[in-house]
């Protein structure tokens, strides 16, 4: 009987994920661009999907719904990432737990998409000395978001540490 219980216990232990398994982050070879080529998530880790997040009003004195109320692309990127950071912290996670990002970017009327502004905001949260982790990422230019003054919407996937 003891042998049967020992065999069952061994079998159950073998089916549990190894606690030592960690994410594997694959940088883009020969590149300093702050995204990853791939991320491997081992079995047993919890994946958290955040809905698309949009910017908050940063200028209360501006006309509601105006571009001035939400700011330029860099300011909107920082606003969105700050909101995402707060959402993750409320779940005992951090920006460093993000493994995937989809960025939806809009050009202000009559202008080109400000990708440099987006990257300036993005680099404040990823690849820093304080937070070196990078996600895989796609960036898409879209015609518009639900609010015509929004220039940035980010959707992220994170893994619980």
Question: Tens digit of pLDDT for each residue in 18-41?
Answer: 455 899 999 999 999 999 999 999
Span 54-94, pLDDT tens digits: 999 999 999 999 999 999 999 999 999 999 999 999 999 99
φ/ψ bin of 54: left (φ > 0), alpha (ψ from -120 to 50), beta (otherwise)? beta
If one compares 66 and 161, the residue with the highest pLDDT of the two is 66
| Tens digit of each residue's pLDDT (9 = 90 or more) over 99-121 | 999 999 999 888 999 999 999 99
Q: CA-to-CA distance for 159 and 4, rounded, in angstroms?
A: 37
Handedness of CA 108, 111, 115, 119 (dihedral sign): negative
Give the residue among 153, 149, 150 at the shortest CA–CA distance from 139. 153
Res. 50: pLDDT tops 80: yes
CA distances from 98 to 34, 108, 125, 155 (A): 13, 28, 11, 10
- Could you tell me if 153 and 43 are in contact, meaning their C-beta atoms sit under 8 angstroms apart? no
**For the whole model, what pTM was predicted?**
0.86
- Identify the band that residue 14 occupies on the pLDDT scale cut at 50, 70 and 90: very low
């Amino acid at each position: 009987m003891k042998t049967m219980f020992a065999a069952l216990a061994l079998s159950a232990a073998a089916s549990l994920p190894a606690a030592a398994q960690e994410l594997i982050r694959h940088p883009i070879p020969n590149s300093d661009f702050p995204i990853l080529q791939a991320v491997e998530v081992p079995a047993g880790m919890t994946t958290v999907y955040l809905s698309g997040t949009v910017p908050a009003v940063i200028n209360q004195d501006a006309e509601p719904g105006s571009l001035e109320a939400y700011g330029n692309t860099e300011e909107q990127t920082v606003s969105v990432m700050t909101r995402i950071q707060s959402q993750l912290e409320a779940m005992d996670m951090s920006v460093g737990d993000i493994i995937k990002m989809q960025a939806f970017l809009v050009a202000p009327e009559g202008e080109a998409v400000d990708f440099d502004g987006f990257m300036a905001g993005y680099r404040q949260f990823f690849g820093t000395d304080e937070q070196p982790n990078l996600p895989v990422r796609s960036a898409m230019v879209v015609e518009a978001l639900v609010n015509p003054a929004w220039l940035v919407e980010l959707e992220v996937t994170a893994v619980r540490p």
